Amino acid sequence: MPCGREPARELIGRVASAFAELPEGPPGEASGPFKSAGDGDLGADGPFGSGGDGNLSADGPFRPASDDSLGANGPLNWPGYGDQLARATSLTGEHESVVCGVADLGGTTAVVVAFEFGFLGGSLGTRTGARIEQAFTHAREQGLPVVSLVATGGSRMQEGTPALMQLTRIARQLTLTRRAGLPHIAVLRDPTTGGGWATLGAGADIVLGVRGAQVGFAGSRVRPPGYSVTQQFAAGLVDQLLTPDELPARLHRWLRLLTTPGDEAPVPHALGQAALPPTGWDAVVNARALGRPRAKQYLGAYFDWHEPVNGDRAGGVDPGVLCGFGQRDGRTFAYAAQCGTATRPAGFRTAARLVELADRLGVPVLTLVDTPGAANDAAAEKAGVGAAIAALFTAIAGARVPVTTLVVGEGGSGGALAFAAPDRMWVTPDSYFAVISPELATAILKRDPAQARRTADQLRLRPQDLVELGVARGIAQPDRSADQATAM
């Protein structure tokens, strides 16, 4: 079975049907025919050749840095460094620790940055930074997504601070690519540490981790025994874990998701009961029923297939919030869905991250509201629940893409409203939406607890009340049939 440290070109050959490498060599001097990986047509006149739309000629804007200015032993004149580079080239057949080019990945054309760990541990040097800069620049000029196949021990010691400075160079490329609205997917191989993790890895839009990989800012030689990709996933810093064999198909799915946006998310059909509640308390009872359809059922019925994202990128995961991207009739929609529990700060931050990413990529968003309210315990306050709610309010308010909301259960106060698009919100017959739960409203009003049922009526929280008040645009109706989708 392939492992995380397989040679860069072997890995490219597994995930790509065609690949054309960006040329290398001194400025103004082409390196000859493109090296290929895969069975695709890589001729000079094809879509990946120098005569195609890619315009990869060496005298264009993608000229590799010259070694002449560095000297044989690099910018620090490190004793024996030139010999180390020569041995690395002899061992791997590569002249640097990254292989960059344009690839066909499951029918999607993308720029690939693949690390060769056998070349000085995949370390980042000055020429590495130049190659990565060229690759991202080409992606922006051609409007292509970027895939980084990362396996690195970090900055190259033999080049010292000039090597370290490549991290800011790479960070600038990540920023420019985000501004261009182009997706960046990172695959964390073994190991992904140091600056490679802190830029190309953790800085990607979608982060896929190969099981068993060491992933962390400090590598095992700095802080034994290192940190695993599984731990990073648990902390909400990796979106999905996969085996090497699962990588090609999963990568192809993600590229398709992030490059085929829809126009506006249709309102889902209601999956529960069709009858409207006669009283406010009946609406509350219906929304709290254990057998009522939940977010997973709605997402399964809505999408042909979908892929989840994980975590808030700040150390937190809320299992009560599902976020990701899904395909429906060949087009992609993003989703952020509450699962009926009190939403934690990490849930709000994950949803905000999802909405902001979808907005940047031009992907419409569907939100499903179902929560008794935001978590209000001491741990939630300490984790910044107020700021997390504010971040989601701001993300949805500032979204340029359409956001569609369906309330599928409880709509409890601001914790529910943060997930809602106020101008495009629908409700199901077995849902309610209120300023706060009837029980808590009764307590705030200093009423007898037995008055909760009467308070529910006075709050006008039924689906039909919400439409009459102008809070909701309409009531979703059950569909006659719904095909169940599957999520990997």
- Give CA–CA dist 262/334, Å, rounded: 10
The arithmetic mean of pLDDT across residues 118-132, rounded, is 97
The predicted structure's pLDDT at residue 15: 98
pLDDT, position 222: 76
CA distances to 95, 228, 318, 400, 404 from 420, rounded to whole Å, are: 52, 36, 18, 15, 8
Instruction: Determine the distance from the C-alpha atom of residue 34 to the mean position of all C-alpha atoms in its chain, rounded to a whole number.
Output: 31
Bigger pLDDT: 403 or 32? Answer: 403
CB 31 within 8 Å of CB 23? yes
What are the phi and psi torsion angles at 323 (to 5°)? -130, 150
User: Mean pLDDT throughout 458-481?
Assistant: 90
Sign of the alpha-carbon dihedral angle for 435, 406, 371, 234: negative
Binned at pLDDT 50, 70 and 90, residue 70 comes out as low
The reported pTM is: 0.89
Can you tell me the distance from the alpha carbon of 213 to that of 486, in angstroms, rounded to the nearest whole number? Answer: 27
pLDDT at 46 over 60: no
- Of the candidates 329, 331, 326, the residue with the CA atom closest to the CA atom of residue 306: 326
Q: Specify the pLDDT at position 45.
A: 39
Q: What is the pLDDT of residue 58?
A: 33
Judge whether 8-259 and 280-487 match in fold. Answer: yes
What is the per-residue pLDDT for 411?
98
Distance CA 217, CA 307 (A): 27
Helix intervals (H) in 56-165: 81-92, 126-142, 160-164
Which CATH superfamily groups domain 8-259?
2-enoyl-CoA Hydratase; Chain A, domain 1 (3.90.226.10)
H or E element in which residue 332 lies: strand 331-338
Residue found under tokens 């909301």: 405
Confidence of residue 43 (pLDDT cuts 50, 70, 90): very low
Element (H, E) at 475: strand 474-475
How many CA atoms lie within 13 Å of 16's alpha carbon, on the beta-carbon side?
A: 30
Q: Which residues contact 431 (CB under 8 A, 6 or more apart)?
A: 283, 286, 287, 369, 370, 407, 408, 409, 410, 411, 463
Above 90 in pLDDT, residue 52?
A: no
Say whether pLDDT at 36 is over 50. Answer: no
Residue with tokens 């029923």: 289
Reported as a pLDDT band with limits 50, 70 and 90, residue 223 is: confident
Q: What is the mean pLDDT of the chain?
A: 89
Burial 9-46 (b: 16+ CB within 10 A, else e): bebbbbbbbbbbbbbbeeeeebeeebbbbbebebeeeb
Burial group, residue 319, by CB count within 10 angstroms (0-12, 13-18, 19+): exposed
Indicate the pLDDT class of residue 429, thresholds 50, 70 and 90.
very high
- Chain segment 142-190, per-residue pLDDT in tens: 999 999 999 999 999 999 999 999 999 999 999 999 999 999 999 999 9
pLDDT digits over 261-304, tens only?
999 999 999 999 999 999 999 999 999 999 999 999 999 999 99
- C-alpha 236/C-alpha 213 separation (Å) is 16
Alpha-carbon gap, residue 168 to 158, rounded angstroms: 18
pLDDT at 224: 73
Share of the chain above pLDDT 70, in %: 88
Average pLDDT over residues 108-132: 97
Q: Which residue has the tokens 């021990």?
A: 153
3-state SS record for 430-462: CCEEECCCHHHHHHHCCCCHHHHHHHHHHCCCC
Of 47-61, 249-263, 309-323, 368-382, give the lowest mean pLDDT range.
47-61
**Residue ranges of domains in the chain:** 8-259, 280-487
- Partners of 433 in the beta sheet? 411
Q: What pLDDT shows up at residue 24?
A: 66
pLDDT digits (tens, 9 = 90+) for 354-402: 999 999 999 999 999 999 999 999 999 999 999 999 999 999 999 999 9
C-alpha to C-alpha distances, 316 to 128, 226, 310, 383, 438, nearest whole angstrom: 33, 20, 9, 9, 31
CA distance linking residue 144 with residue 110, whole number of Å: 5
Cα of first residue to Cα of last residue in the chain, in angstroms, is 21
Please tell me the distance from the alpha carbon of residue 58 to that of residue 34, in angstroms, as a whole number. Answer: 11
Is the domain covering 280-487 a CATH 1.10.3720.10 domain?
A: no
Pair 353, 392: CB distance under 8 Å: no
Pairing of strands 215-216, 184-193: parallel
Classify residue 305 by burial, with Cβ atoms within 10 Å: 0-12, 13-18, 19+: middle
Q: Which amino acid is at 171?
A: A
CA-based nearest residue to 105, from 188, 40, 193 = 40
